[in-house]
A = this chain, B = another copy of it.
Amino acid sequence: MLNALTAEPNDATAQEIHGRLVARGDAVGLATVYRTLALLSRHGVVDALMHHAGEVCYRLCSEGHHHHLVCGACHRVVELGDCDLDGWLSGLAAEHGFTVSAHTVEVTGTCADCLAA
């Protein structure tokens, strides 16, 4: 299961992961994939992304706070490690009486390879 995820360079939906496992010969059930992904997600081992409505993508990520840079054409994902938004956001939010507990940033663009193609 974890092997399958580490083999995924980019993000994948639960269905894709399941399909790939089955194609590979592992007779794993769809339910188990969902169960495992939910578990891993809850423990912060994988990140759950929802760029398009109706389905969730999972990705094996580094543990710390980070954001994602996604290529709109080929779906390649790069992690952005340094994030100095917390201070800025806290101040901005405080103007509205909010206390910030979390924030997510998702950047979409085009990677060099797709730009050349």
**Which A residues are within 8 Å of any B CB, using their own CB?**
48, 50, 53-54, 56, 69, 71-72, 78, 80, 82, 85, 89, 92-93, 96-113, 115
Copies of this chain, tallied across the complex? 2
Distance, CA A7 to CA B100, complexed state (A) = 27
Given contacts A48-B53, A56-B53, A92-B80, contact A98 B109 (CB under 8 A): yes
Nearest chain B residue, comparing its CB with the CB of A103: B107
**Does B72 lie within 8 Å of A101, measured CB to CB?**
yes
Distance, CA A53 to CA B54, complexed state (A) = 7
A35 to chain B, nearest CB (A): 15
User: What are 6 A-B pairs with beta-carbon distances under 8 A?
Assistant: A93-B109, A96-B111, A98-B109, A99-B109, A102-B109, A105-B105
Distance, CA A104 to CA B92, complexed state (A) = 16
